[in-house]
Amino acid sequence: VRYPVICIDGPSGAGKGTVTWRLAQALGYQLLDSGALYRIVGLKAFEAGLITADASKVIDEMAVLQLTQSLDIAFVPNNESGRVDIIVNDEAVGEQVRNETIGGYASQVAVYPKVRNALLTLQQDMATRSGLVADGRDMGTVVFPNADVKVFLTASAEARAKRRVTQLMEAGQVADFEEILTTIKARDDRDENRTTAPSKPADDALVLDSSMLDANAVYEQIKKHCQNQG
Ligand code: C5P
């Protein structure tokens, strides 16, 4: 049996998380949060002293690879947060991996082909048990090139930074627009310009710009696209 795969790729803050969760719920599919894999590896690499926050340290790719191979990662849907909980070596990793600092660590380790390759089977295996909605940067281009539906969901860096500011302020945190914008652009730049599996739309992807759309409109458009693709 071959199960259906829906790929939602694009930069951070374009609204992938919300739409992938809603699609997975509506269709009864599993959800692959591939960014969480790179976040875990990034966090562990930082803890092991293999990378630094300012990305100044030259990464020992073999050491990061070994670390990646030592991790047993699983996802459990959490209806309260509307995201998957991440379990690493039988221990729950809290929501703190979702912050921008860890996002930066993730994009540092995500540059390395050996690291990406070590995470490949784990991701592809998730499509062997049920339908899958996969959230990432290279779902449609590298991990699931034969996927049934591919969407590249993007938005201007300014729109994404604005959303982030709103989110942080709603959570009672301080947020500086310019600082967030700079961080977002730096991460985009690293993700789009790396040699291996750069963030870009697959040739057969629907490219959707969410700058002027709310989460509901994004969901409806992608749902319609899925229906049209059969
Ligand atoms: O999607 P998220 O913001 O959680 O991803 C964190 C980082 O992990 C990205 O900025 C990117 O560097 C990396 N990533 C990747 N390939 C994916 C998903 C995430 O390289 N499929």
Q: Which of 143, 97, 151 is nearest to 124 (CA)?
A: 143
* CATH number of the domain residue 30 falls in: 3.40.50.300
Q: Whose CA is nearest to atom 2 of ligand 1?
A: 35
**Could you tell me which residues are annotated as the binding site for ATP?**
10-18
Q: How many domains does the chain have?
A: 1
Residue 14 belongs to a domain: yes
Residue 196 belongs to a domain: yes
Ligand 1 contact, 140 CB (< 6 A): no
**Could you tell me which residues are annotated as the binding site?**
10-18
Residue 230 belongs to a domain: no
Residue 191 belongs to a domain: yes
DSSP helix/strand/coil, 171: coil
Residue 71 belongs to a domain: yes
Ligand 1 contact, 42 CB (< 6 A): no
Residue 68 belongs to a domain: yes
By 3-state DSSP, what share of the chain in percent is helix, strand and coil, each rounded to 5?
50, 15, 35
DSSP string for residues in 101-141: HHHHHHHHHTT-HHHHHHTHHHHHHTTSSS-EEEEESSIII
**Residue 64 is part of which domain span?**
5-223
Residue 229 belongs to a domain: no
Residue 228 belongs to a domain: no
Torsion, CA 83, CA 86, CA 91, CA 96, rounded to 10: -70
ipTM at complex level: 0.99
pLDDT tens string, the chain, 230 residues long: the values are 789 999 999 999 999 999 999 999 999 999 999 999 999 999 999 999 999 988 888 789 999 999 999 999 999 999 998 889 999 999 999 888 988 899 999 999 999 999 999 999 999 999 999 999 999 999 999 999 999 999 999 999 999 999 999 988 998 989 999 999 999 999 999 999 999 999 999 999 999 999 999 999 999 999 999 999 87
Backbone dihedral angles phi then psi of residue 197, each to the nearest 5 degrees:
50, 55
